[in-house]
Structures are given as structure tokens and as C-alpha cells.
Structure 1
């Protein structure tokens, strides 16, 4: 810490890199109308879809009978926020707020990385990894959600209450941040974090339900979703087109999905795999015996990876979540997820080739498109399996077999810097 204070070079270099890469992302965003970058399909989501939802929300109601609205009520607050910036169009204000959330993430990662026993590798991964997704992160609200998840994890050791509240707010916006609470150490830390999370989630949902009409309409639309083209099941069906499968693609529920024979079976299998993944995570939680300072971070990345690869939907913006969680893992020198972070980086780079650069090939089901999405999903699957294996082994270490066990001090919300053995 003292060395970093005396020599701010790494932090200045990261700041310069962030400014340069975000300028490049903005340049790509401005030129996103070119055919190579998808002909404006990426930015269209903001100025057409999000702005339409903003209109409904501004009149006190969540979108009604809109199959593309599949998000928890907290998403409404994020989509209304651009209206608070005067003098800017909705699109401009949305991008400004996204960049602000991005800056908040990198600042939090830098602050965490400059503490004793920590590393700036996490801030470096986020700074250099997000531009691999080109301009997609600037035209989706996943950066804002990831900011809540990242802050939740980074505040866990000092304030389990803040960890729980931030995780809950993220879950109310887009569900998955609830998974960041999975790895909180047993004892008072977990009780405090989860109690405050439930209270915060309940209070925020109640407030939104009172303030807006139709707050739970998203459940109907979310349940009706099929198999998205980019999911593991979609990849299998897309390849099956070359073997004579008679299905086709259709734009519905806000995504390109596959329709035809066996799609319902594939969707059901995906849901079953998600349930199995949840079961594995519960088993890990019950059997885990050794918590290091990095365990909450590693568990969050593992959980989101497992839920991502088993999902019926693997949209390109999902990579934003994984990059953020991988970055948090790398702030700790105790993490076992370094190889997983490299796989996430590789999958992110390939995701941009899939969408928007070669999405026409993917939708058409050409061999090029099929192999590209297959390669991306193989990387994600390998990352998920490796992540779970390394998490399991790290919490079943020989230290856990010692007859003497310790727990976090009951009179403190702070975790010690050394590893904890718990029964």
C-alpha cells in the first residue's frame, strides 16, 4: 500500500487506459450504423426499445402486454434515470450514465486492489476486457447492474449490511446479482447480509409496486421465452439444421429464437440443468469447510457462470456480468479463478465476433456461424466447469480437516485477512 502511495504509476496507467479504451468504445458506438458493426442493431435497443419503455414508465405503469418486457420492477428505475439529465437526448443520457457506472466499477476495483494483500489485476481485467465487447456494453443496462454486484462483493468484508442491500438492489433490477450472496462466510456475516438483503428487496419491490401499475407483468413474458439462438441448446439445434432439422429462427420476446420440433424439449432440459446447477451450488455451500478472503468472490463467479451456461438465453451482454465478477476475483491474491478469468476474456472476444460482427451468419445457420457460437459456448462451458471444480477444491482444503475450527468473530462485521476454517 505504501509503495503504491509513493508510486502512483499503476493507477495513472489504468486511468489512462480506461480513458483511451472508453473513447474507442464511444467511437465504435458513433459508427455503429456500418454493416460490419450490425447496421445499428446494437444501439436500436436503447433509442427504440428502452425509450418506449421509458414512455410507459413515465406515465406510472410498467409495459403492459409487451413480450419484450421481461425484467424485474427495479429495471424501471434504471430506465427512468436518463430522464434526470437535462439537455441530453435519452440515448445520450443513457450512455453517460452507463459510462458513470463503468467508472464507478473501475474506481472500486482500483481501491480494492491497492489494499494490502490485494492486486490491481482486477481493475486491469475490467479496463481491458470490457472493450472486447465493442459498443454493446454502452447500449445495454448491464453495466449498471454489474456495478451493484461488484460493490456488493467488495463491501462484504467491511459491511455485510451494505453487501446485502447492494446485492438485493441488483437482484430487483436483474435477478442474477442475488447470486453474489452465495459465498458469504457462515455465521454472523451471512445472517446479517441475507437479512438485510431480504429487507431491502422487500422494501424496494413494495415501493415500486405502490408507485407503478403492473409491476409483476414481466413474470408472464419471462416464462414464455423459448430457446435463444446463442444458448447451448440453441447451438445444438442450429447445428441440427445441417442434419435436416426442420426448425427455423424467429424474432420473439426481444431475441432471435429457434422454433420447430424439439425446441420445447430443449427448453425443458435447459431449465432442468439450471435446477441441477442450483443443486450443485447448494451442495457446495453445505459441504464447504474452508473460507479464504477470496471465497465469496470465487463463489459468485462460479454461480453466475453455471446459471449462464444452463440458461435458455445467453445474450452477448451476459459477458459484462462475467467480466465484472472475474475482475473482483482478481483483486484478491487468494483467488483460484485466474484460469477461469482468462477463459472469460477469450469468450468475450469471441462473443463480439458472433455479435454483431458475424450475427448474420449465426442467424442463417451457416457452418461459419455455427462454429463461431459453438466455440464461444465451449469456452463458457469449460469456464463454468473449471470454476466449480476449483471452488470446490479450495473450500475442501486440508486445513478444513483440522480438529480445531474457527468462525468469524460474533462481535464484528469485519472478516480477518487470514483464511477462515469453519465447520
Structure 2
């Protein structure tokens, strides 16, 4: 059968939109000092914090005894990369590499969307959704991390070895990309992807451990983190200020956190909810009976949404992860996550209002700041619940449909389903 010709018009329109929106994001970054754009706070993370870490890493050590260093060893490689770009300052090179990763994600989504039976909606969501976060994506390395996750998901169906390797490399930079392997189809695909993830992840971790001193220093600082002001728990405590709670906000561990009575209990509750979320995902994996081409994508978005909303920290750059995973879901016409993607887009728009535009209101705990973060987090919580419900329903056999025989491979069954192991 001849492959249908791809109409170039939508692809060219997406390309033009990408260049236009990224030019706007660069303009916003150039005017980063404006009060409505954060008064310089967005770009400061790169030229002050990342550049400082680069100086430590370039001497063969991870930033031990630095309360702001809370990232796995692979983050060091990403932060060292701008030093390889000649003729530019660290800040300029970092932004250039971030744009390159952004473009790579867009191209991968376009390629996936132009395959037979697929959709360019995912590429459109990434192209138009990322600018909802204003210039923030260009000044954080979460675009690079998201690129690992997106490429892993898109590669896994045809090349499970590459999918597993990319997920492992992403997990070494920030842990969450390991979750994209949750929905790999049962059988050989899962065994191959997970085996390669373990092998590549282990080898890369060993290489970093022998190349740099203090590779696991981040664990101590990560374990000491409290409740960030923008998390679900932080929003509840911030609202409690108006009911007489005596706590306050403080800059620590590289973020604005809340300190005072009951903060420890709220942090413990967040960790308990994260554990419960992991248990729920394991139960889904065991009980799932139907797999489609979209199931790995949908499962990845559900998993990361659950871990995001139950986290002690919901930094605005977390929305970059969710936008990338939602975009992958929408490359498939069989995804169950379309309404979830709409909620993520709305949350991204509100997130940029909370930071950087009205961040002072959030930190001060005013009614406006509290309601803004409550609305953003409410959308994320609703997206997480809806995502899991729709994922769970999509994995159940239809009425009157028997579960396919174990080991059935995608593409061999009329409904492209698989039995769970």
C-alpha cells in the first residue's frame, strides 16, 4: 500500500508558528528585567546559579554542601554543555542549546504526526503551548529533560532499545523520565526497553561517578526540602494564613518554602500521596488488559501528572514536562487524554501568571496570590484524576470482548490490543 502524501501546508504553518513564537519568547527574555516579567528573576537562574554550578563542575566535582544542588548526576552533563559552544557567553550558549532541544522536540512531533493514522495536533500543542509559560522555558533546562522523555516515547514502539536508553539518560538528569516506561507493551517490548534502561543508566551513572567527585551529594539536599509555596500543600498553608496560621515564607533549598506549624505534617502527607500514586500505577499496570499505540503515551502523562500534583514542589517549569507529554499523546488519534491536554494548557497559562507576573502576590500570601495558585493547582489535580480515570477505562476490555491471548504483539490483533503479563 502506498503511503498517503503529506500535505506540506500544515507542516509549513507549524514551522512558521514555531519561529514566530520563539522569537517572541526571546524578546521577552531580552526584556526579562521588566517588573511584570519577574524583574530579572527568570534569567537569573542561568547566569547566576547555573553558571556557578558550571564553574564547580568544570573542576571535576558536583556542588557538594550546596543546598540548591538537588539534581541527579546527569544534570551535570547538561549544565556543562554550554561550555562547548565557542564564541558565546554561558547564558547565550545555554539559551541556544535550549532552543535546539525545543526544535528537536517539535521536529520529532511533526514526524510522528505525519505518519499514517497520526495527527499533527501534538506538534501544534507543543509549538503553541510552550509560549504560554512566557520566557521561562528558555531559562531552565527542563526543555532538554523533556526532549529525552518525548524521544523515548516516540522511539519505543519501533525501537524499544533506544526508548529505554533515552528514558534512562533523561532519568539521570531529572528522575521523572523513568516514568515514561510505565506503559510499554507487555512482553518482549517491556523486557527490552527496561533492560536497556538499566544497562545504559547504570553505565552512564558509573561513568559520571568515576569522572566527578561527590556524585550523590544531591540526595542529602533533596531529602531536606520542605513545602514549596506553589505546591498543593503550600497553597493550603498559604490560604491558612488568612485563618490565623502563624507560618511564613522563606527562601531555602533554592525555592520559596513555607515554614511554621504543621509544615512537617504537610510534607509527610505529600510523600504519602506520592507513594499511594505509585501503588495505583502499579495496580493499573498489573490489571490493564488492552494496549493501543497510545497507551504508553497516555500512561506516561498520567504518571507524571500524579507525581507532580502530589509533590512537595510544583515549580512552574514542571508544566514544560506536562506539555511535552500531552503533545506526544495527541500525536495519536487513539489517545484518551485530549481533555487532559486542554486542562494542562489552561494550567500552563495560569502558571505564568503565578510566576513571574504576580509572584510577589503569591509569596506574600495575598488573596489574589492564593486564589491564583489554587486555580492552577486545581486544574492540575483535575487533570491528574481525569487522566487516570480515562487511562484505566481505556485499558479495560470492551463489553463482550475477551482479553486477547498473552503475548499478542501490537499490530497483529485487529484492535492492536495486548494482554497484561
Q: For 1:91 and 1:402, locate their aligned partners in 2 and report how far apart those are by CA, in whole Å.
A: 57
Q: For 1:416 and 1:40, locate their aligned partners in 2 and report how far apart those are by CA, in whole Å.
A: 55
1:84-113 Cα shifts (integer Å, max 9, x gaps): 000000000000000000000000000000
> What's the CA shift for 1:407?
2.7
Residue number in structure 1 paired with 2:416: 419
Q: For 1:302 and 1:218, locate their aligned partners in 2 and report how far apart those are by CA, in whole Å.
A: 27
Residue number in structure 2 paired with 1:361: 361
Change over 3 Å in CA distance of 1:399–1:114 after alignment to 2: farther
> What's the CA shift for 1:419?
1.8
Residue number in structure 2 paired with 1:338: 338
Q: Secondary structure at the match of 1:405?
A: coil
User: Runs of at least 4 residues of structure 1 off by over 4 A?
Assistant: 1-4, 413-418
TM-score by length of 2: 0.97
Q: For 1:416 and 1:110, locate their aligned partners in 2 and report how far apart those are by CA, in whole Å.
A: 27
1:155-211 Cα shifts (integer Å, max 9, x gaps): 011110000000000000100000000000110000000000001110000000000
> What's the CA shift for 1:416?
7.5
Contact 1:336 1:391 in 2 (8 A): yes
Contact 2:290 2:403 in 1 (8 A): no
Q: For 1:237 and 1:417, locate their aligned partners in 2 and report how far apart those are by CA, in whole Å.
A: 52
Q: For 1:87 and 1:414, locate their aligned partners in 2 and report how far apart those are by CA, in whole Å.
A: 50
Contact 1:157 1:414 in 2 (8 A): no
Structure 1, unaligned runs of 5 or more: none
Residue number in structure 2 paired with 1:229: 229
Q: For 2:346 and 2:412, locate their aligned partners in 1 and report how far apart those are by CA, in whole Å.
A: 33
Q: For 1:292 and 1:406, locate their aligned partners in 2 and report how far apart those are by CA, in whole Å.
A: 15
> What's the CA shift for 1:398?
1.6
Residue number in structure 2 paired with 1:175: 175
Q: For 2:148 and 2:58, locate their aligned partners in 1 and report how far apart those are by CA, in whole Å.
A: 24
Aligned residues: 419
> What's the CA shift for 1:4?
4.4
Change over 3 Å in CA distance of 1:399–1:168 after alignment to 2: farther
Residue number in structure 1 paired with 2:328: 328
Q: For 1:165 and 1:230, locate their aligned partners in 2 and report how far apart those are by CA, in whole Å.
A: 33
> What's the CA shift for 1:405?
2.1
Residue number in structure 1 paired with 2:288: 288
Residue number in structure 1 paired with 2:190: 190
Contact 2:336 2:394 in 1 (8 A): yes
Q: Secondary structure at the match of 2:35?
A: coil
> What's the CA shift for 1:397?
2.8
1:199 to 2:196 alignment: no
1:350-382 Cα shifts (integer Å, max 9, x gaps): 000000000000000000000000000000000
Change over 3 Å in CA distance of 1:44–1:264 after alignment to 2: same
Q: Secondary structure at the match of 1:291?
A: coil
1:106-154 Cα shifts (integer Å, max 9, x gaps): 0000000000110000000000000000000000000000000000000
